[in-house]
Amino acid sequence: MSSPVEGTVAPGFERVAEVFAGDGPAQCCVYVGGEPVVDLWRSLPEDALLAVFSATKGATAACANLLVQRGLLDLDAPVTDYWPEYGQRGKESTLVRWLLSHRAGLLAPEPGLTFDDVADWDRVVGALAAAAPVWAPGTDYGYHAQSFGWLVGEVVRRVDGRGLGRFFAEEVAGPAGAEFWIGLPEPLDHRVVPPAHAPIPGGGGPAPDDLAAYVGPHLVSAMTMNGAFPDDLVAAAGDRRYRAAELGGSGGVASARGLARLYAWLLDAFTPETVADVRRVETSGPDRVLTSAAMPIEQRFGRGFMPAGPPGTFGHPGLGTTAFADPSRGVAFGHVTPRVPFGPPGSDPDVARVVDAVYARL
């Protein structure tokens, strides 16, 4: 049975509300030409805030790319120009660009950090600086599921002086008017609807004995920071410690309105040159972290963003989250659910139908 749909759509976008109707909680917001045309939700309070998981990487990438646009950060400089301590154990020649495009090879620190430790920024970045990469930086690529936030975030901090969460709040989310936080303030915690796993359609999925074939050799260490987080990140994101820490790779909390506002603002804040640069794919092919014997996965990344919607878009999906900007059509799109579906981020067919309904109106 479909859940009642609440909210508003602009004239001509009524079909989007029809397609959005479905079972379970979700939010959807769309801007076109800087104006909201879709603001819908179902089975949630209107002011609900949700975990957006890896869509946080788009927010972190926005911070770094603004510094590049302002002439304060050189992507082709060694990381050590900004973060000297990083130059250890084969990482001396790592370029800043490789941090953003998942080519650094530094998926996690050595084992030993705990869930409580991740709130200590200096401790985590110190552990990462002291760690050895899995592959020679720049020679391959694989999804830096968690470490991306600290690696890029520390460069932002070294350039600007402010931590990632504060920089994002003051330089991006604040000016954008976006409900989006990297490190959620405690007074807002009552608005959070914790995530949960959605049932697998038909009860399918690999049998437990076959799971190893579906897991890349480095996936667990990359996702858990070598044991700092529990294996079930959906459950972890329901913990206040997860959303309170500045987890620039996966810990953001937002609404669909916040996601759409962020990308609508970036379409104005980024110069045409920056827009062209962030849309350019720099990394593609089989992902060394996500690819397994049974399930090859190919991804494409640019300067921290990836094509997250129709051709020509830039953004970043996350578990249960789709968020992107389309410069050519002036579209900014956000969709998020706390009922995390089975499958890779950005692969939900229900969301694809909503996107199609939006574009059919343009």
DSSP per-residue string spanning 244-272: HS--TTT-EEE-HHHHHHHHHHHHHHS-H
Quote the pLDDT of residue 295. 67
Whether 174 and 135 have beta carbons less than 8 Å apart is answered as no
Quick one: pLDDT band at residue 286, thresholds 50, 70, 90? Answer: confident
What span, in angstroms and rounded, lies between the C-alpha atoms of 98 and 78?
A: 10
355 vs 340, more confident: 355
Quote the pLDDT of residue 209. 47
In this structure, which CATH number among 1.10.150.530, 3.40.710.10, 3.40.50.720, 2.102.10.10 belongs to the domain 5-361? Answer: 3.40.710.10
pLDDT tens-digit readout, 217-262: 788 899 999 999 998 889 999 999 999 999 999 999 999 999 999 9
| Average of per-residue pLDDT across 68-77 | 99
Residue labelled with tokens 């009860």 = 203
Asked whether the predicted pLDDT for residue 146 surpasses 70, the reply is: yes
Quick one: pLDDT band at residue 206, thresholds 50, 70, 90? Answer: very low
Quote the pLDDT of residue 212. 52
What span, in angstroms and rounded, lies between the C-alpha atoms of 280 and 305?
A: 9
Quote the pLDDT of residue 348. 85
What span, in angstroms and rounded, lies between the C-alpha atoms of 234 and 257?
A: 22
Whether 244 and 186 have beta carbons less than 8 Å apart is answered as yes
Whether 144 and 249 have beta carbons less than 8 Å apart is answered as yes
pLDDT tens-digit readout, 214-224: 567 788 899 99
Contacts 24+ apart (CB under 8 A), 158-162: 158/82, 158/83, 159/67, 159/72, 159/73, 159/82, 160/67, 160/72
Asked whether the predicted pLDDT for residue 296 surpasses 90, the reply is: no
Asked whether the predicted pLDDT for residue 287 surpasses 90, the reply is: no
DSSP, collapsed to helix, strand or coil, labels residue 113 as: coil
Whether 227 and 286 have beta carbons less than 8 Å apart is answered as no
Whether 103 and 91 have beta carbons less than 8 Å apart is answered as no
Which runs of consecutive H residues, i.e. helices, occur in the chain? 14-20, 56-69, 96-100, 121-129, 147-160, 164-168, 174-176, 219-224, 233-236, 240-244, 256-269, 272-279, 349-361
Residue labelled with tokens 């931590």 = 163
Quote the pLDDT of residue 285. 84
| Average of per-residue pLDDT across 114-122 | 96
Asked whether the predicted pLDDT for residue 213 surpasses 60, the reply is: no
Quick one: pLDDT band at residue 327, thresholds 50, 70, 90? Answer: very high
Quote the pLDDT of residue 162. 99
Helix axes 272-279, 56-69, angle to 10 degrees: 130
| Average of per-residue pLDDT across 26-41 | 99
What span, in angstroms and rounded, lies between the C-alpha atoms of 270 and 211?
A: 42
308 vs 172, more confident: 172
Q: Quote the tokens at residue 224.
A: 């858990």
Residue count of the chain: 362
| Average of per-residue pLDDT across 54-81 | 99
What span, in angstroms and rounded, lies between the C-alpha atoms of 55 and 45?
A: 21
**DSSP calls for 158-225:** HHHSS-HHHHHIIIIIHHHT--EESS--GGGGGGB---EEPPPGGG-S--GGGGGGGS-TTHHHHHHT
Phi, psi of 315 (to 5 degrees): 175, -150
Mean pLDDT of the chain: 93
Q: Quote the tokens at residue 272.
A: 């045409």
| Average of per-residue pLDDT across 104-123 | 96
- Using a pLDDT cut of 70, give the percent of the chain over it: 92
What span, in angstroms and rounded, lies between the C-alpha atoms of 250 and 242?
A: 9
- Using a pLDDT cut of 90, give the percent of the chain over it: 80
What span, in angstroms and rounded, lies between the C-alpha atoms of 120 and 309?
A: 35
Asked whether the predicted pLDDT for residue 313 surpasses 90, the reply is: yes
CB-based burial label for 355 (10 Å; 0-12, 13-18, 19+): buried
Asked whether the predicted pLDDT for residue 195 surpasses 90, the reply is: yes
Quote the pLDDT of residue 23. 86
Quote the pLDDT of residue 183. 98
